[in-house]
Structure 1
Amino acid sequence: MSSGIADLLRSSASRSPGSPVVTGDGRALTYGELAERSDRVAAALARLAPGSRVGYVDRNATEYFELLFGAAKAGVVLVPLNFRLAPDEMRWILGDADVSLVVAGPDHVEALRGAADVPVIAVGSDYEEWLAGQEPADPKRDATGDALVVLMYSSGTTGRPKGVHVTAAGLASAVELFGACFTLGPDTVSMVPIPYYHIAGAGWALITIAEGGTLVQCREPTPQSMLGQLVDHRVTHTALVPAVIQIMTELPSARDADFSALRQVVYGASPISESLLSRAVALFGAEFFQSYGLTETIGVTTLLGPDQHLPDNPVEGRLRSAGRAVPGMEVAVLDLETGGTAAPGTAGEVIVRGPCVTTGYWRNAAATEAAFLPGGWLRTGDAGSMDSDGYLYLHDRLKDMIVSGGENVYPAEIESVLAGHPAVLEAAVIGVPSEKWGETPLAVVVLRPGAEATEDDMLTWARERLAHYKCPTKTVFSDALPRNPSGKILKRELRRPWWESSERRIG
Structure 2
Amino acid sequence: MNIALLLEMAADASADRVGLVCDDKRWTYGDLLAAARGAFEMIEQSGAQYVALLDESSEASAIALFGAALAGVPYCPLNYRLPDTDLSALLARISPALVVGDEERVTRIAGDQGHIVMAREDFVAKAQELVPGDTDRVYDPGDGVAVQLFTSGTTAAPKAAILRHANLMGYILGSVEFASANEDDATLIVVPPYHIAGISAIMSSIYANRRMVMLPAFTPEDWLQLVEAEKVTNAFVVPTMLQRVINMMEQGVRADVSSLRAIAYGGGKMPLEVIQSALTLFPHTGFTNAYGLTETSSTIALLGPDDHRAALASDDPKVRARLTSIGQALPTVEIEIRDEDGRVLGPRSAGEIYVRGEQVSGEYKERSALLPGGWFPTRDAGYMDEEGYIFLSGRADDVIVRGGENMSPGEIEDVLLTHPGIADAAAVGIPSVEWGEAVGVAITVRDGHAPSDDELKALVRDRLRSSRVPERIERVEALPYNEMGKLLRREVKKLFA
- How far apart are the structure 2 equivalents of 1:182 and 1:254? 38
Q: How many residue pairs end up in the alignment?
A: 428
User: In the alignment, does 2:26 pair up with 1:28?
Assistant: yes
- Please report the TM-score for the alignment, with normalisation by the length of structure 2: 0.77
Compared with structure 1, are the counterparts of its residues 100 and 182 closer, same or farther at alpha carbon in structure 2 (3 Å cutoff)? closer
Query: CA offset at residue 494 of structure 1?
Result: 3.0
Query: CA offset at residue 92 of structure 1?
Result: 1.4
**CA deviations over 1:134-170 (Å, ceiling 9, x no partner):** 635574423434x100101114477431111111011
- How far apart are the structure 2 equivalents of 1:443 and 1:312? 34
The worse-fitting range, judged by mean Cα deviation, of 304-313 and 208-217 is: 304-313
The worse-fitting range, judged by mean Cα deviation, of 205-214 and 23-32 is: 23-32
Match of 1:420 in 2: none
Compared with structure 1, are the counterparts of its residues 91 and 274 closer, same or farther at alpha carbon in structure 2 (3 Å cutoff)? closer
User: In the alignment, does 2:346 pair up with 1:336?
Assistant: no
Match of 1:207 in 2: 204
Amino acid at match of 1:6: A
From 494, 498, 502, give the equivalent of 2:440. 494
Match of 1:465 in 2: none
Compared with structure 1, are the counterparts of its residues 268 and 46 closer, same or farther at alpha carbon in structure 2 (3 Å cutoff)? same
Amino acid at match of 2:26: A
From 349, 352, 357, give the equivalent of 2:360. 357
- How far apart are the structure 1 equivalents of 2:8 and 2:180? 22
Match of 2:449 in 1: none
- How far apart are the structure 1 equivalents of 2:381 and 2:327? 15
Whether the 8 Å CA contact 1:188–1:208 is kept in 2: the answer is: no
User: In the alignment, does 2:163 pair up with 1:166?
Assistant: yes
Match of 1:303 in 2: 302
User: In the alignment, does 2:343 pair up with 1:393?
Assistant: no
The worse-fitting range, judged by mean Cα deviation, of 161-170 and 22-31 is: 22-31
Query: CA offset at residue 219 of structure 1?
Result: 0.9
Whether the 8 Å CA contact 1:155–1:161 is kept in 2: the answer is: yes
Match of 2:191 in 1: 194
Match of 1:312 in 2: 313
Match of 1:280 in 2: 278
Query: CA offset at residue 213 of structure 1?
Result: 1.2
Match of 1:218 in 2: 215
- How far apart are the structure 1 equivalents of 2:127 and 2:8? 22
Match of 1:447 in 2: none
From 174, 178, 184, give the equivalent of 1:177. 174
Whether the 8 Å CA contact 2:181–2:209 is kept in 1: the answer is: no
- 5 Å matches for 1:51-450? 52-105=49-102, 108-114=105-111, 116-125=113-122, 128-129=125-126, 132=129, 135=132, 139-145=137-143, 147-156=144-153, 159-179=156-176, 184-252=181-249, 256-284=254-282, 285-310=284-309, 311-313=312-314, 314=316, 315-337=319-341, 339-362=342-365, 364-365=366-367, 368=368, 371-400=369-398
Match of 1:470 in 2: none
Match of 1:460 in 2: none
Amino acid at match of 1:193: V
**CA deviations over 1:206-251 (Å, ceiling 9, x no partner):** 1111111110110111011101111111000000122222221232
Whether the 8 Å CA contact 1:18–1:30 is kept in 2: the answer is: yes
- How far apart are the structure 2 equivalents of 1:264 and 1:484? 51
- How far apart are the structure 2 equivalents of 1:18 and 1:112? 41
Compared with structure 1, are the counterparts of its residues 344 and 241 closer, same or farther at alpha carbon in structure 2 (3 Å cutoff)? same
Query: CA offset at residue 98 of structure 1?
Result: 3.2
C-alpha RMSD of the superposition: 3.5
- How far apart are the structure 2 equivalents of 1:170 and 1:73? 16
Q: Which secondary structure does the structure 1 equivalent of 2:432 belong to? A: coil
Identical columns (%): 29
Any stretches of 5+ residues in structure 1 without a counterpart?
402-429, 445-479
Query: CA offset at residue 496 of structure 1?
Result: 8.4
Q: Which secondary structure does the structure 2 equivalent of 1:120 belong to? A: strand
Whether the 8 Å CA contact 2:292–2:300 is kept in 1: the answer is: yes
Amino acid at match of 1:309: H
Compared with structure 1, are the counterparts of its residues 35 and 91 closer, same or farther at alpha carbon in structure 2 (3 Å cutoff)? same
- How far apart are the structure 2 equivalents of 1:318 and 1:441? 21
Query: CA offset at residue 200 of structure 1?
Result: 0.9
Whether the 8 Å CA contact 1:59–1:219 is kept in 2: the answer is: yes
Whether the 8 Å CA contact 1:332–1:350 is kept in 2: the answer is: yes
Q: Which secondary structure does the structure 1 equivalent of 2:299 belong to? A: coil
Any stretches of 5+ residues in structure 2 without a counterpart?
400-408, 418-422, 445-455, 469-485, 488-497
Whether the 8 Å CA contact 2:20–2:213 is kept in 1: the answer is: yes
- How far apart are the structure 2 equivalents of 1:384 and 1:348? 6
Whether the 8 Å CA contact 1:79–1:152 is kept in 2: the answer is: yes
Compared with structure 1, are the counterparts of its residues 481 and 117 closer, same or farther at alpha carbon in structure 2 (3 Å cutoff)? farther
- How far apart are the structure 2 equivalents of 1:261 and 1:46? 42
Whether the 8 Å CA contact 1:56–1:80 is kept in 2: the answer is: yes
Whether the 8 Å CA contact 1:80–1:197 is kept in 2: the answer is: yes
- Please report the TM-score for the alignment, with normalisation by the length of structure 1: 0.75
The worse-fitting range, judged by mean Cα deviation, of 214-223 and 273-282 is: 273-282
